[in-house]
Structures are given as C-alpha cells and as structure tokens.
C-alpha cells in the first residue's frame, strides 16, 4: 500500500484538486502536521470523521513506525497545514523512512507558495533557488542572504511576520539595490503584493505584520569596486596572506565575484598554476 503525499490548499479551499479529495476520502489514515488544523480543513472539504495521526519534528522519532505500519496495510495520506508536505514542513524524513522500508510513495501535484510567488514576481526563472526560512540571528541571516545572491538565479524564501522587517533590513545591508517581490497571505482574502528594493518593500507593510510571508529576490550581483575588478589578482593577494581556499571563496563571493563553488575551482586552478598543492580538507565551502 502507498504513502500518498497530498498537498492541501494554501488558503482558498477551492484550490484543492479532485485527486486530493479522492485520496483524503478513501485513505485509511491521514497524517497531519497539526491535527486541529487538519480537522478544520477536512470539515471544510466535507470529509469529517477520519483517523488523523499527528506528525511533526518533535514526535517524529516516536510516531514514524506507527505511520509506516499503517501504510503496510492500507493507504496513508500525508498532509501539512498548507501546501506541499516536505517543503519547509514535515514530510521529507517520513518519505525517506518509507522508501527505506520498501513502502511505495506517491506525491500528488498541488499548491506550493514557493513556486507561486516565484512566478508572480516576474523575475527570470531559468534558475531558481528555494532557500526556505532565513536563520534567526542577524549575523547568520546576513551571511545566508549574501551567499544566496547570484547573477543567474532567483531565490525564494519564507519568513515569519515577526521577523520579516529584520530580514528585509539585513538584505538592505548586504544588497541595498536588490529587487524584491513579497507576497503576504498568498491565495487568501487579504493577499498583498509588494515589490521594490528591500527598504521600499518594508515600507509597504503595515504594523503589525500578520499572515504568511513569502518573497523572491531577483538575480543580483554586488558591483565590485575598481580595485576589485580583477578576480585573479584578488585571489592571488589573499593566497599571499596564507588564507584558506574556502575562506577566500566566501570572501570574494560576498564581494560580487561569483558563486562560492566557481570561485573555489578558480582558486584551485590559481594554486595549481603556481605549483601549490590544493587540499580538499581545508575549508571547502
């Protein structure tokens, strides 16, 4: 019997698919992130009285085997509070455990705020990076945002309403001219769109900020100063200071010379060209 991943509506109940309704009606058990949210959803869809198993990070170790046992003898539907399970919501570890136990897994197509917001942004989508939630601390958040800025990829993020102003402020600190598209309450009654530089987007939010937040950052690269135009010269200068390759790649990526992976390879080439030995254990990003 399969474990069936069932995306649920982000806000508007009419976004549910006919296939999702079939599975939710016929499943022998339904796995839910929050059983109270699941019961309200099922009641709204006209599917009351189902067996619901709560599954979240805090109880995953204790409850996983029970879920797998149910899937061995019947159909188990896996849901989250809204959207696609496993995308910044519980689910991916359970899917891995099912596969390891030889249990078939199906994933139904359905809503995901990440890709909906990416398309709404109008930003180039040849390459898209889904980053999930930024770190909670300012220093780690700035570093993560800076690392994600890339000249060929649009990045997509989730954030809590309590931290979105701080996140936009940190983005402004590392990339003040970045183009940001933010959606609050996607698919819901009070859906809001805001676009512009980080400070401009923050100014369009009301206090207090409420609801679910997702935002996209257009492809971006910080403009290097005149003294930073030659990447090889910058690499050589930092190598002369006996800096580690990983540290150099990180520093130059934040200065706008490209991705850390590309810079790391370039550093290796520079070191090899000078007769140096490249260590794969010394600070690879």
Angle separating helix axes 92-100 and 60-73, nearest 10 degrees: 50
User: 3-class SS at 240?
Assistant: helix
Q: Which of 128-132, 186-190, 265-269 has the lowest mean pLDDT?
A: 265-269
**Alpha-carbon distance 176 to 221, whole Å?**
11
> Residue 275: pLDDT above 70?
no
pLDDT at 259: 79
Q: Alpha-carbon distance 86 to 79, whole Å?
A: 9
DSSP state of 83: B
Q: Which of 226, 120, 131 is nearest to 171 (CA)?
A: 131
Query: Which regions of the chain does DSSP assign to beta strands (E)?
Result: 3-5, 29-32, 52-54, 76-78, 105-107, 128-132, 154-159, 180-184, 192-196, 213-217
Task: Answer yes or no: are the C-beta atoms of 214 and 128 closer than 8 Å.
Answer: no
Contact in structure between 32 and 55 (CB atoms under 8 Å): yes
User: Is residue 246 a contact partner of residue 151, using CB atoms and an 8 Å limit?
Assistant: no
The answer to whether 270 touches 239, Cβ cutoff 8 Å, is yes
By the 8 A CB rule, do 31 and 76 touch? Answer: yes
CA 187 to chain CA mean position, Å: 19
pLDDT tens-digit readout, 13-70: 999 999 999 999 999 999 999 999 999 999 999 998 899 999 988 898 899 999 999 9
The helix or strand, by DSSP H or E, that contains position 63, with its residue range, turns out to be helix 60-73
Alpha-carbon span 270 to 41, nearest angstrom: 58
pTM of the model: 0.71
Distant-in-sequence, close-in-space partners of 194: CB < 8 Å, separation ≥ 6: 180, 181, 182, 183, 184, 200, 201, 204, 205
Task: Look at phi and psi of residue 6 and say left if phi exceeds 0, alpha if psi is from -120 to 50, else beta.
Answer: beta
Q: What is the pLDDT of residue 57?
A: 85
Query: What is the rounded distance in angstroms from the CA atom of residue 219 to the CA atom of residue 205?
Result: 23
How would residue 228 be classed by pLDDT, with cut points 50, 70 and 90? very low
- Give pLDDT tens digits for 134-178: 999 999 999 999 988 866 789 999 999 999 999 999 999 999 999
Does 165 or 282 have the greater pLDDT score?
165
Mean pLDDT along residues 75-93: 90
């Amino acid at each position: 019997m399969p474990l069936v991943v069932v995306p649920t509506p982000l806000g508007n109940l009419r976004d549910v698919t006919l296939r999702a309704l079939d599975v939710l009606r016929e499943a022998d058990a339904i796995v839910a992130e929050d059983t109270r949210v699941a019961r309200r959803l099922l009641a709204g869809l006209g599917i009351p009285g189902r067996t619901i198993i709560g599954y979240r990070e805090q109880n995953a170790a204790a409850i996983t085997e029970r879920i797998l046992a149910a899937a061995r003898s019947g159909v188990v539907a896996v849901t989250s509070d809204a959207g696609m399970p496993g995308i910044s919501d519980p689910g991916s570890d359970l899917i891995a455990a099912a596969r390891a136990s030889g249990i078939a897994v199906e994933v139904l197509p359905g809503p995901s705020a990440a890709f909906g917001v990416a398309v709404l942004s109008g930003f180039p989508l040849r390459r898209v990076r889904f980053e999930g939630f930024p770190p909670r601390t300012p220093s780690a958040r700035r570093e993560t945002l800076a690392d994600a800025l890339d000249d060929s990829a649009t990045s997509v993020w989730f954030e809590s309403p309590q931290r979105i102003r701080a996140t936009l402020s940190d983005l402004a600190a590392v990339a003040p001219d970045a183009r940001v598209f933010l959606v609050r309450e996607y698919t819901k009654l009070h859906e809001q769109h805001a676009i512009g530089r980080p400070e401009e987007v923050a100014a369009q939010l009301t206090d207090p900020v409420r609801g679910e937040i997702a935002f996209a950052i257009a492809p971006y690269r910080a403009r290097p100063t005149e003294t930073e135009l030659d990447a090889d010269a910058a690499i050589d200068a930092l190598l002369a200071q006996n800096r580690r390759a990983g540290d150099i790649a990180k520093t130059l990526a934040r200065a706008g010379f490209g991705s850390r992976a590309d810079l790391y390879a370039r550093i290796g080439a520079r070191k090899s060209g000078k007769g140096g030995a490249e260590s794969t254990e010394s600070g690879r990003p």
